[in-house]
Amino acid sequence: MTSNNTSEAGVRNVQEQTEEQRLLRTDLDLCNTLVGQAESELATSHKHAVQTFNQAVRGYNAMVRVFKQRRRWSETATKEIGAKLARLRQELERLQHLAHAPSST
């Protein structure tokens, strides 16, 4: 492999890492929105709130799989996204008790 090929491979690797990180940040934002929506929906439609909550959980689980497969991320990005995933997990655990409680609606 020539020096030029090595440089191109390095650039592609950085681009892939950046894209993974961007997608995870976007998905984190979406899941946090779903958590807020599910919490709001609990007051009016328990069934719909549970469906929205379950979408957030599926999104979280997919993000964790991607995060665990990361390669050569910067320490800063790893800490940032890891902390955001941990906060989302806490919100999901908090909401889980509400979403799976018996409903009066």
Per-residue pLDDT, averaged over 92-101, amounts to 83
pLDDT beyond 90 at 85: yes
How far out from the chain centre does Cα 96 lie? 16
- Does residue 102 or residue 31 have the better pLDDT? 31
Q: What is the pLDDT of residue 105?
A: 44
CATH numbers and ranges of domains, the chain: 3-99 (1.20.58)
pLDDT beyond 50 at 17: yes
